[in-house]
């Protein structure tokens, strides 16, 4: 997989296990724009936004990924 993302403080963006298996949802607060990622392992309503206290969420489709140390091999990670 070609990673065209710039390095961030020596870290790289890497797809999470949940992302690769399609088990996460991305939500954005309709009031303040906070982005929350929810795993299908923790289903249910999100509740109120921790930043502004509102409870309206918009479903989003984003390339959400985790951060990894480029010096550490994660190829053997499994779901």
Distance of CA 16 to CAs 38, 41, 51, 75, Å? 12, 14, 24, 11
What does pTM read for this prediction?
Answer: 0.56
The pLDDT value recorded for residue 67 is 58
**1-52 tens-digit pLDDT:** 455 555 556 666 666 777 777 777 888 999 999 988 888 888 889 999 999 9
**For residue 38, how many other CB atoms are within 10 A of its CB?**
17
Q: Which one has a higher pLDDT value, 38 or 54?
A: 54
The pLDDT value recorded for residue 49 is 95
């Amino acid at each position: 997989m070609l990673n065209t993302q710039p390095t961030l403080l020596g870290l790289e963006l890497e797809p999470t296990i949940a992302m690769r298996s399609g088990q996460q949802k991305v939500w954005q607060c309709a009031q303040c724009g906070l982005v929350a990622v929810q795993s299908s392992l923790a289903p249910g309503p999100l509740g109120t936004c921790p930043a502004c206290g509102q409870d309206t969420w918009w479903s989003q489709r984003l390339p959400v990924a985790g951060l990894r140390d480029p010096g550490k091999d994660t190829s053997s990670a499994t779901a």
